[in-house]
Amino acid sequence: MPSFRPLALCASLILLAGCAAAPTATAPSAPADPVALSAAVNRVSWGVSTSTYHQVEQVGYGRWLERQLHPGAAVLPPEAQAQIDAMTISQKPVPQLVRELEDQRRDYDKAMVDDEAKKAAQRAYQQELNRLAREAATRSLLRDLYSPNQLQEQMTWFWMNHFNVHQGKANLRVLVGDYEDKAIRPHALGKFRDLLAATLHHPAMIRYLDNEQNAANRINENYAREIMELHTMGVDSGYTQNDVQQLARILTGVGVNLGDKMPNVRKDKADQYVRNGLFEFNPGRHDYGDKVFLGQTVKGRGLAEVNEALDRLARHPATARYVSRKLAMYFVADEPPPALVERMAATFQSSDGDIAAVLRVLFTSAEFTQSLGQKFKDPVHYVVSAVRLTYDDKVILNAGPMINWLNRMAEPLYGRQTPDGYPLTQSAWASPGQMTTRFEIAKAIGNGAAGLFKSEGAMPQERPAFPQLANALYFQSLQKALAPATASALEQATSPQEWNALFLSSPEFMHR
């Protein structure tokens, strides 16, 4: 191999990766050639890998896509499932975890101990919250890497971002795993109305947006505003500040109960009290007056008002357009084609918000095909796709490095403080600093020194796993999509490790 100046070449690739779009794809809607097929699989999944590519080849792209849109139960590799099964969040239901932690917190608050002992107890409490949140992040990444239901996992991340909660608030670190697993994932490809309701009934959302503080004569508008602006209709869609206030009144009494006791409720309203896990509707805190919401009267009658409001929001034409546009932004382009969005919105309305049906319109569109290879990867897509391509179905022993990389690139799971979620556009993630960090990650993965196959704990295990990116998939498909500048740079690599790092830093790999 010819000699070259590695730093200069790496800098050139970083610059190209951040500033240049990958070559325009010309694949037909039903990909037939290897380049088109891998590009489509790369977009629908968390990133193409050898085993996923072979699965699609065997069953055909059309049948595989239908299986992605309507998945069965996910069967993960035994080693990955064993890691998930061993987690505390898998073994204990969230109400039990919350009660145990609340008891621990109350005990040190009340204890007549010296300041140092109290501080130690507080640290132990915070460390346990951090550990549970890290379990949730690890479980999420293992599913992203190894689940056969790749689209379901992508949509789980998408909806977690759309219905964002921040783990740093209150005790949300103990709730985020359950929120993802019980509120988001089961509805990720189902009806939008069901998904919206599941998020509203989860304590993570209620606590994050302060609705447990929302009561008759003491209105808190936070959640009502975000439901309309971020979750359903979108800003500038025609609703008014009065609509926000009326929805906040409708949502009074929707809260959280972390204990075992039922609150005192008047006898004439006792039959309207609802408790489901940690979710609570307390009629004693509800505003029973009539409301006028989105131009129609909502009769004051308790929790049924919430269902009526959700029906109205989920089926509003503005919601169909807003959600469809955001899906197209995620899967097609930062500025999605208006005609595609309109077709998706029409299907959203005609199918009563069937997410899979809307996505089928997207994935079978000419706009989707024409966009392949041009959508810039955010940090999560970059990290997960790099590990999937590099190690295929070889199960990692430690997700810690992936979690740390996402922290470094400012996109940690459950880490967005504001309710708008992480941005989905290239401009948010293509800075020189981001590109430099990506090259460092590419180098760590390419050298096989990332620590992914060395477990933590008192008796750590380590398994050799040298990355082999120049494999059959590369020569069959990926190589043919490389621009001349990238191919030239790879030819100058002086070692397999350097070749791996350069490939994972290339403009083509930065896009999906």
In angstroms, the CA 498 to CA 318 distance is 50
Helix (H) or strand (E) holding 274: strand 274-276
- Asked if pLDDT for residue 298 goes beyond 80, the answer is yes
For residue 23, what pLDDT is reported?
A: 44
Question: Among 197, 154, 156, 155, which residue's Cα sits nearest to residue 176?
Answer: 156
Can you tell me the mean pLDDT for 261-266?
93
In angstroms, the CA 400 to CA 124 distance is 20
- Asked if pLDDT for residue 509 goes beyond 80, the answer is yes
For residue 417, what pLDDT is reported?
A: 98
Q: What is the pTM of this model?
A: 0.94
Beta partners for residue 218, in sequence order: 215
Q: Given the structure tokens 């790099």, which residue do they identify?
A: 386
In angstroms, the CA 276 to CA 255 distance is 11
Question: Would you say how long the chain is, in residues?
Answer: 512
328-377, pLDDT tens digit by residue?
Answer: 999 999 999 999 999 999 999 999 999 999 999 999 999 999 999 999 99
- Asked if pLDDT for residue 7 goes beyond 50, the answer is no
Q: Who wins on pLDDT, 248 or 260?
A: 248
For residue 319, what pLDDT is reported?
A: 98
Question: Among 382, 381, 503, 380, which residue's Cα sits nearest to residue 443?
Answer: 503
For residue 415, what pLDDT is reported?
A: 98
- Asked if pLDDT for residue 108 goes beyond 90, the answer is no
189-245, pLDDT tens digit by residue?
Answer: 999 999 999 999 999 999 999 999 999 999 999 999 999 999 999 999 999 999 999
For residue 10, what pLDDT is reported?
A: 56
Q: Which pLDDT band holds residue 147 (cuts at 50, 70, 90)?
A: very high
Helix (H) or strand (E) holding 297: strand 296-298
Whether 70 contacts 64, CB under 8 Å: no
For residue 1, what pLDDT is reported?
A: 36
Q: Which pLDDT band holds residue 121 (cuts at 50, 70, 90)?
A: confident
- Asked if pLDDT for residue 13 goes beyond 70, the answer is no
In angstroms, the CA 49 to CA 418 distance is 34
For residue 260, what pLDDT is reported?
A: 87
Question: Among 498, 496, 479, 495, which residue's Cα sits nearest to residue 487?
Answer: 479
Distances from the Cα of 46 to the Cαs of 76, 107, 431, 471, 472, in angstroms? 15, 44, 22, 19, 20
For residue 3, what pLDDT is reported?
A: 36
- Asked if pLDDT for residue 416 goes beyond 70, the answer is yes
Q: Which pLDDT band holds residue 159 (cuts at 50, 70, 90)?
A: very high
User: Position 253: which residue type?
Assistant: G
Rg (CA), the chain: 24
Helix (H) or strand (E) holding 311: helix 303-314
For residue 223, what pLDDT is reported?
A: 98
Can you tell me the mean pLDDT for 421-450?
96
Can you tell me the mean pLDDT for 65-92?
98
- Asked if pLDDT for residue 17 goes beyond 80, the answer is no
The two tokens of residue 368 are 């989707």
Residues 6+ apart with CB under 8 A from 296: 312
For residue 449, what pLDDT is reported?
A: 80
Is 2 strand, coil or helix? coil
- Asked if pLDDT for residue 136 goes beyond 60, the answer is yes
Residues 6+ apart with CB under 8 A from 486: 13, 16, 506, 507, 508
For residue 467, what pLDDT is reported?
A: 92
Phi-psi domain of 465 (left: phi exceeds 0; alpha: psi -120 through 50; beta: other): beta
Q: What's the chain's average pLDDT?
A: 93
467 CB neighbour count, 10 Å cutoff: 25
- Asked if pLDDT for residue 20 goes beyond 80, the answer is no
CA dihedral 155, 158, 164, 170 (to 10 degrees): 60
The percentage of the chain sitting over the pLDDT mark of 70, rounded to a whole number, equals 93
Question: Among 186, 192, 179, which residue's Cα sits nearest to residue 153?
Answer: 186
Whether 17 contacts 25, CB under 8 Å: no
For residue 294, what pLDDT is reported?
A: 98
- Asked if pLDDT for residue 6 goes beyond 50, the answer is no
Burial class (CB in 10 A: 0-12, 13-18, 19+), 212: buried
DSSP track, 74-138: ----HHHHHHHHTSHHHHS-HHHHHHHHHHHHHHHHH----HHHHHHHHHHHHHHHHHHHHHHHH
- Asked if pLDDT for residue 458 goes beyond 80, the answer is no
Can you tell me the mean pLDDT for 41-70?
97
Question: Among 431, 422, 434, 205, which residue's Cα sits nearest to residue 330?
Answer: 422
For residue 494, what is the DSSP state?
Answer: S
- Asked if pLDDT for residue 79 goes beyond 80, the answer is yes
In angstroms, the CA 191 to CA 471 distance is 40
Q: Which pLDDT band holds residue 2 (cuts at 50, 70, 90)?
A: very low
- Asked if pLDDT for residue 127 goes beyond 80, the answer is yes
- Asked if pLDDT for residue 27 goes beyond 50, the answer is no
End-to-end CA distance of the chain: 30
For residue 47, what pLDDT is reported?
A: 98
Helix (H) or strand (E) holding 258: none
Range scoring the smallest mean pLDDT among 284-298, 420-434, 457-471, 476-490:
457-471
In angstroms, the CA 479 to CA 418 distance is 40
For residue 19, what pLDDT is reported?
A: 58
Can you tell me the mean pLDDT for 445-471?
89
SS (H, E, C) 426-467: HHHCCCHHHHHHHHHHHHHHHCCCCCCCECCCCCCCECCCCC
Can you tell me the mean pLDDT for 495-509?
97
If you count DSSP H runs as helices and E runs as strands, how many of each does the chain have, helices first? 25, 5
Q: Which pLDDT band holds residue 105 (cuts at 50, 70, 90)?
A: confident
Question: Among 395, 392, 339, which residue's Cα sits nearest to residue 367?
Answer: 339
For residue 24, what pLDDT is reported?
A: 43
User: Position 201: which residue type?
Assistant: H
For residue 456, what pLDDT is reported?
A: 86
In angstroms, the CA 443 to CA 461 distance is 23
